[in-house]
Structure 1
């Protein structure tokens, strides 16, 4: 491809990135100040020049083709590089700015991320945050989010990111409940207790434990199952039974003596344990607004006090302005 032709296509590549970012030709046109037909022709010219279909169009949404995913990643790098140049020259603004769209699991978002958002907004007056709390799998491109926080021990190899904190679960009950019903000394003792569990999957009522080289599992029963961490915490505090809770939810009540950990010498394992990672599409030049958000949240979480039982938060160095952040894959 001739250099002149390649330079001419850079504008089409930027339009293509905006179409994918917004999910529609009309919204991309609105944000670019152009006609939808002009945006459509721009993408068509790029497809013709590359000799491949980039977008699969339906009546309801746009979806990247297999080759479109590859091309989009490279075009995002180009746009990010251009933004980095503008930032260096001062034309992009002295402060990070724009909207940061973050998808977070409900409990992690409510108890870990949300408490730090007011301070972040005060520190960065030109950045707006859209925090989307949901427990379903979110595709960063299809769902139009900048960052996704996921609980996983194997981050997607096609994404980049940073480990934030380890998520540990434990069993908790109030002293009053244990005085009335006895304190379990072995996982099998849970069979005689009223247990509060998630209740979304059949396996949620089969609790698994490890201690040393031994493992144990028990099918628990209870009068109350609820798929909301805050609701399970409230039920435990109202002496309903022994509940499964992530440590970050239980921490304050444990510190205040409102409840205690049950079977503390056993490790309670669930499918919801793992490492919380903040993930984003691969890029050599992360937008300043995203670097600001990631660095801020990472620093605040590294300062969170912890008990001895859960793993410590991993403190990570700040993201350099124009270097590739740590890749997960």
Structure 2
């Protein structure tokens, strides 16, 4: 392909990348400000220039061919490089400035992130922050979000992952509840109590514990209130409904105020949702100063500078299915 041909297909590559990421000509067209038919024609012209079929089109879905998956990876590198080039001016600005869009799970955003965002805004008056509070997994590349906080045992491939803090679960209940029910000295004692569990999966009521020098313990718990949101479980515990499993960051204020007490504090709760809070962003060569200072501020505030960075830019594939199977995502902290 000659130089002129290469220049001509650059817009078509951008369209192809957006179609592959979003899995739809209509969605890509809306993002690019063109019609779905124009998006389809651009991808067809790119296929003609390259000489291979990139997408398998059916009435129900789009699917990357083997050649399409390879072309997607290379075309997305070009798109990311172009986006980086557009940010070059900001790289050399004397002060970080502009808007940073960051998403985080609801409980973590309210209980952990929000206070440090306030102190960040005071420290960097030229930077604005849009905090997007959502429990779903936000994709920074597809959705135009600069930074994503995710609570997980293993961060996703294809993104830079910087650890913010460990996320551990604890058990807690109100003093009122504990004085009116049998003492809890061992995990096996929980069978006599009402326990607030997640209920998302069959074994979420199988609580596992570990203590140094003793055999691991597992107990099947039951309770009157089951909910897959940690703030709701804490409120259930505060209403004297029983013993709740919640992230330690969620219970911190209530523990400090004496509203709840730790249960089995000398045992480590081995839930399915342990892990770390990671801050994720696309692997661009240059990170905009406005994003870098926010990442550094949060890691400094939450102790993430003591963790081990993971920078994994190996991609499992785009938004629509490729030929190879992909690994199921790890379960996140809730």
Q: Same fold (TM over 0.5)?
A: yes
Residue 296 of structure 1 corresponds to: 294
Structure 1 position 162 matched with structure 2 position 162: yes
More relative contact order, 1 or 2 (CA 8 Å, 6+ apart)? 2
**Alpha-carbon shift at residue 53 of structure 1 (Å):** 3.1
What is the TM-score of this pair, normalised by structure 1? 0.76
Residue 9 of structure 2 corresponds to: 9
Aligned residues: 310
State the secondary structure of the residue aligned to 1:240. coil
CA distance in 1, matches of 2:164, 2:75: 28
Residue 314 of structure 1 corresponds to: 304
8 Å CA contact retained: 2:84, 2:285: yes
Structure 1 position 326 matched with structure 2 position 311: yes
**CA shift digits 1:145-178 (9 cap, x unpaired):** 6655433333334433222221100000112222
Alignment of 1:1-329 (within 5 A): 1-20=1-20, 24-26=24-26, 28-29=28-29, 32=32, 34=34, 36-58=36-58, 62=62, 64-89=64-89, 100=101, 102=103, 104-113=104-113, 129=130, 131=132, 133-135=134-136, 148-213=148-213, 214-281=215-282, 283-285=283-285, 288=288, 292-293=290-291, 295-297=293-295, 299-300=297-298, 302-304=300-302, 313-315=303-305, 326-327=311-312
CA distance in 1, matches of 2:66, 2:114: 35
> Which 10-residue stretch deviates more, 185-194 or 9-18?
9-18
State the secondary structure of the residue aligned to 1:326. strand
Question: RMSD value over aligned CA atoms?
Answer: 3.8
8 Å CA contact retained: 1:171, 1:245: yes
CA distance in 1, matches of 2:260, 2:277: 25
Q: Which ranges in structure 1 are unaligned for 5 or more consecutive residues?
A: 305-312, 320-324
CA distance in 2, matches of 1:46, 1:58: 19
CA distance in 2, matches of 1:128, 1:21: 25
CA 25–222 in structure 1, closer or farther in 2 if over 3 Å, else same: closer
CA 295–134 in structure 1, closer or farther in 2 if over 3 Å, else same: same
CA distance in 2, matches of 1:280, 1:224: 37
CA distance in 1, matches of 2:36, 2:265: 61
Q: Which ranges in structure 2 are unaligned for 5 or more consecutive residues?
A: 315-334
8 Å CA contact retained: 1:149, 1:279: yes
CA distance in 1, matches of 2:91, 2:221: 61
State the secondary structure of the residue aligned to 1:171. strand
CA distance in 2, matches of 1:45, 1:71: 14
8 Å CA contact retained: 2:112, 2:249: yes
